[in-house]
């Protein structure tokens, strides 16, 4: 099955000031979005393998676009996340098939390594609806400074027969983190937890 993309978008959010304190260097989050046709909109299909294959293609493409937008090398990526929103003629399982189980491996390649699970969210919605992309440290889930999220919205997507797929990558954690726990510098990335 062919990936049918109607549009893509990429943007970078930078935080330079928080609570009157300068953030230097600024914390940065990149999000890459693809709005794709849902080949199974309006019908029940038992085998969702074609959507899983599309997810694999999108994982690498969107992950690479995030890294490029941040102007970093893959090893400089610190956290990541993924999300999908299906239009009204789809079902949540279509979003799940895009995000799992094949999107993660090419995304990990785009950010070099990625020992930790990729946080994800899925929902049903329509044009202009917000989609939250959860974020977590790419190599060590216990790095609390990287528990975060980023919101995306496309004014004309997803339409009824579409899926909006988003991948986010950061080169930092939250601005002014101070809730303790394992730090980015202490993370080993061997088991995905520490």
| Cα distances (Å, whole numbers) of residue 110 to 3, 66, 126, 132, 166 | 19, 9, 29, 21, 15
Q: Is residue 64 included in any domain, yes or no?
A: yes
Q: Is residue 193 included in any domain, yes or no?
A: no
Distance (Å, whole) CA 50 – CA 39: 9
Number of folded domains in the chain?
1
- Provide Rg for the chain, Cα atoms: 17
CB contact at 8 A, 116 and 192: yes
Q: Is residue 145 included in any domain, yes or no?
A: yes
Distance (Å, whole) CA 146 – CA 3: 32
The confidence score (pLDDT) of residue 25 equals: 96
Distance (Å, whole) CA 109 – CA 191: 17
Residue 170: give its domain's CATH number: 3.30.1330.110
Question: What pLDDT tens digit does each residue of the chain (194 aa) get?
Answer: 789 999 999 999 999 999 999 999 999 999 999 999 999 999 999 999 999 999 999 999 999 999 999 999 999 999 999 999 999 999 999 999 999 999 999 999 999 999 999 999 999 999 999 999 999 999 999 999 999 999 999 999 999 999 999 999 999 999 999 999 999 999 998 899 99
Residue 49 domain boundaries: 5-186
Q: Tokens standing for 136?
A: 């977590």
Question: How many Cα atoms sit within 13 Å of 115 on the Cβ side?
Answer: 14
Q: Is residue 116 included in any domain, yes or no?
A: yes
| Cα distances (Å, whole numbers) of residue 177 to 63, 94, 147, 187 | 25, 35, 10, 16
Q: Is residue 191 included in any domain, yes or no?
A: no
Q: Is residue 121 included in any domain, yes or no?
A: yes
Q: Is residue 78 included in any domain, yes or no?
A: yes
Helix (H) or strand (E) holding 108: helix 104-110
Helix (H) or strand (E) holding 112: none
Helix (H) or strand (E) holding 27: strand 21-37
Q: Is residue 192 included in any domain, yes or no?
A: no
The confidence score (pLDDT) of residue 175 equals: 96
Q: How many residues are listed for the chain in this entry?
A: 194
């Amino acid at each position: 099955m062919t990936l049918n993309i109607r549009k893509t978008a990429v943007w970078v959010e930078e935080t330079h000031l928080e609570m009157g304190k300068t953030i230097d260097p600024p914390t940065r989050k990149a999000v890459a979005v693809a709005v794709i046709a849902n080949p199974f909109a309006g019908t029940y299909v038992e085998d969702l393998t074609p959507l899983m294959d599309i997810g694999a293609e999108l994982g690498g493409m969107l992950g690479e676009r995030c890294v490029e937008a941040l102007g970093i090398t893959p090893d400089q990526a610190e956290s990541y996340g993924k999300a999908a929103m299906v239009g009204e003629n789809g079902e949540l399982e279509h979003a799940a098939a895009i995000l799992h189980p094949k999107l993660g491996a090419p995304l990990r390649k785009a950010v070099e390594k990625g020992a930790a699970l990729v946080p994800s969210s899925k929902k049903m919605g329509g044009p202009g609806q917000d989609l939250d992309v959860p974020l977590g440290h790419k190599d060590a889930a216990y790095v609390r400074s990287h528990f975060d999220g980023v919101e995306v919205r496309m004014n004309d997507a997803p339409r009824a027969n579409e899926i909006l797929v988003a991948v986010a990558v950061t080169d930092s954690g939250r601005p002014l983190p101070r809730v303790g726990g394992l730090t980015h510098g202490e993370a080993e990335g061997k088991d995905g937890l520490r």
